[in-house]
Structures are given as C-alpha cells and as structure tokens.
Amino acid sequence: MTKEEMVELANKASKEWLKEFPTPLETANQVPERYLEIFAKLVAEKERDECADLCEQYGFNNHCGTTTDVIANAIRARGEA
C-alpha cells in the first residue's frame, strides 16, 4: 500500500469518526481509540481486496482443484466475519 493510499484511508477514517463524535468534547475524549479502530478496519479491507485481486489475476486451478476465484472470495469474506 502506498503512502498516498494510507493518507487517503486516514482521512476517510477521520470523517467516519467525526460522524460518531460530533461535539468537541466527545471528539477530544474518543479520538485515539475509535479513530484507530476505524483506520485499522479500512487498512485491513484494502489489503484483503488487494490480495483477492492478485488471486483473480492469476486465475487458474491449483493442485487441489480450488480455483483462484474461490480463494479470492474467501479472502474478501474474512471482512464480513
């Protein structure tokens, strides 16, 4: 993931967290923990998507007969758990 992508996700996390804590007092008291939770979730989602995209890019059957589409879908499904 590039530095620019990380900054973009940090900005997105900031906007999400401000929706939850709109007043200055709430924001000041909740910034570190909740902001980091949101940011970590966004980073993990981006990484899962990139891994799944790589699987799909190499679309073939492995020695077990599992297609890379199945593997890519399993990677993406981890975010729904």
Phi, psi of 30 (to 5 degrees): -115, -5
The segments of the chain whose pLDDT lies below 50 read none
User: What residues does each domain of the chain span?
Assistant: 3-80
Q: Cα(46)–Cα(9) distance, rounded to whole angstroms?
A: 9
> Over the Cα atoms of the chain, what is R_g?
17
Residue keyed to tokens 């790589």: 54
**Where does the chain show beta strands of DSSP type E?**
none
Sign of CA dihedral 27, 30, 32, 33: negative
Residue keyed to tokens 């891994």: 51
pLDDT of residue 2: 79
pLDDT of residue 3: 78
